[in-house]
Amino acid sequence: MKILYVTNMYPSASYTYNGIHVKEQIDYLTKNYPLEKDIYFIDGGHSKINYFKSIFRANHLIKKTDYDVVHVHFGLSGLFLLVNPFLKTPVVLTIHGSDINSPKHFGLMRLVTKMIIPLVDRVIILNDKMLSKLSSQREKLVKIPCGINIDQFDSERINDGKKFVIGFPGNKDREVKNYPLFREIVTSVAARGVQVETVEFHNMTRAEVALNLSRLDCLLMTSHSEGSPQIIKEAMAGGVPIISANVGDVELVISDVENCCVINTYDPGDYIDEIMKLTALEPQQRITNGKHKLSLLGFDQQSVCSKVYELYRSLAK
């Protein structure tokens, strides 16, 4: 099968971590299944004009090449479908979170995504909250959260216990990540006499992510919305305690995992209380059984990609 991937989520020289999980999924699929790939990357971070260029360039690629399936990652990447609504090639759309949740710009991103969904054959969603938002298109929806290479992040913990190290999962400049709340929580914890160090997980290589996860006493997620955040799964693979707002599928993923907690509010005090419980533990006790939970959920790359491949097979011409 020959697959065209159209995505605005893919690593680039200026943003090496952008869409790395999309790249890893594509790489695993093409390495382990009889697939050929073409990738059309829409560098929207460099210039928003690239989205408009994609309308014509993506359709040109599809017209000149006999693809079996087109797989679009992120709603805005499917703009080309609006001018080619009768495309004969089967199209799969993976929704990643902010494309269906974002209220920014009067919900324009969400509106575009909902306009595109009726034009595709299948929609991969990452969690049940997406299912409720798209219930009118239920017959198209397939829940397949993105997977990870679990062993890649299963590193020996190297925290020396001198400081309590808290990870911020993402780019602090992105409004959706809610860095002001994270900063307020960390400042309050430090005011209680805890020596705190923070790590921002942004634009790191996979090796750097694994190394810095191994240093953490806690990953703290304060986001307003998420899909199925990869950093949560990566932290679980490394046995890192997680305290998170109830976003995306985090509650499903970390429920019943020791030393992990989901908070249903954005009250700083609720997060601080849970962090202080972790600070009371010895450094070697700040571990979890997250790797086992990931295996139970089938979030390893092999399990996830086998489902994606079978979806391709069911749709291919």
pLDDT averaged per 10 residues in sequence order, the chain, 317 residues:
96 82 95 97 89 94 95 95 90 89 66 92 90 86 92 80 93 94 98 96 90 96 92 95 95 95 97 97 93 92 96 92
The pLDDT of residue 92 is: 98
CATH 3.60.70.12 fits 2-147+300-315, yes or no: no
The pLDDT of residue 227 is: 85
Burial class of 183 by CB neighbour count within 10 A (0 to 12, 13 to 18, 19+)? middle
Q: Do 299 and 145 meet the contact criterion of CB atoms below 8 Å apart?
A: yes
Taking CA atoms, 312 is separated from 29, 78, 122, in Å, by: 11, 18, 10
Which residues are bridge partners to 38 per DSSP? 4
The pLDDT of residue 106 is: 47
Alpha-carbon radius of gyration of the chain: 20
Query: Helix/strand/coil (H, E, C) string of the chain?
Result: CEEEEEECCCCCCCCCCCCHHHHHHHHHHHHHCCCEEEEEECCCCCCCHHHHHHHHHHHHHHHHCCCCEEEEECHHHHHHHHHCCCCCCCEEEECCCHHHHCCHHHHHHHHHHHHHHHHCCEEEECCHHHHHHCHHHHHHEEECCCCECHHHHCCCCCCCCCCEEEEECCCCCCHHHCHHHHHHHHHHHHHCCCCEEEEECCCCCHHHHHHHHCCCCEEEECCCCCCCCHHHHHHHHCCCCEEEECCCCHHHHHCCCCCCEEECCCCHHHHHHHHHHHHCCCHHHCCCCHHHHHHHHCCEHHHHHHHHHHHHHHHCC
Which residue ranges does the chain devote to CATH 3.40.50.2000? 2-147+300-315, 150-297
The pLDDT of residue 16 is: 77
The pLDDT of residue 160 is: 72
Q: First CA to last CA across the chain, in angstroms?
A: 9
- Please give the CATH topology (third level) of the domain spanning 150-297: Rossmann fold (3.40.50)
The pLDDT of residue 104 is: 56
